Amino acid sequence: MLGEDSVASALASGSIYVDHTTNSADLVRRVHGILAKKDVGMVDAPVSGGMEGAQARDLTLLVGGDAEVLRRARPVLDAIGKTVLHVGDIGAGNICKVLHNAAGFTRALAMMECLTVGVKAGIDPGVLVEVFQKCALGRSFDIQVRLPSTLFKGNFDPARFALGVAAKDMGLAAELAAANDVPAELMELCQAQMAEAMSRGWADRDSSVYLTLPEERADAPVRTSE
């Protein structure tokens, strides 16, 4: 992008550079600043959907940048992806993308930890995968339904699924892991967070209330207007 005979050196005034890489937001902003001096517009637009999505044009583009630059680039972006989301200023696309990926990778590791416990406890892996697919986890129930009505609104009463019950279930899962000699670090971490929330007297509140602990430590509550 930069340096002698680079992309930047060849871009004409008035053109637009669309960056589809998943990258550091700081680097994206640096490139944006260099291109702005050449009167070149830029948006960062990392994609979500993988190779399968690209082949079927079923991609989501997470676009950061000026709204007017996005308007001009929109016909090209619409031709590439099914959904184009303007998520904020330059660099915001990459912030959203790396956090989405981190959440996905962490969830996959948690699922694999639980699947491993299940297999060692004697459950057929195909059966357990089907259970995960057809129950709340596979339907992304938390992010689609529960959290929008509880955590994201700061509404933890009345309990839809009480923290005390959730903590009981986590304890049973941790006991099962220990009984089958399966290391379960993520379960233990989750259990510890729930225990701290329980110690504050939140047992009868909605189970999502323990998720306010990371918010509290960062002083950054996650609330939406929808």
Cite the active site residues: 97
Nearest-5° Cα angle at 40, 38 to 43: 140
| Distance from C-alpha of 85 to C-alpha of 7, rounded to nearest angstrom | 26
What are 83's strand-pairing partners? Answer: 60
| Distance from C-alpha of 41 to C-alpha of 72, rounded to nearest angstrom | 10
| Distance from C-alpha of 103 to C-alpha of 111, rounded to nearest angstrom | 12
Under 8 Å CB-to-CB from 44, ≥6 apart: which residues?
19, 21, 23, 25, 28, 32, 63, 64, 65, 90, 91, 92, 93, 94
- For the record, the structure tokens of 41 come out as 């517009």
Work out the burial of residue 64: count CB atoms within 10 Å of its CB; fewer than 13 is exposed, 13-18 middle, 19 or more buried.
buried
Measuring CA to CA, which residue among 41, 82, 76 is closest to residue 61? 82
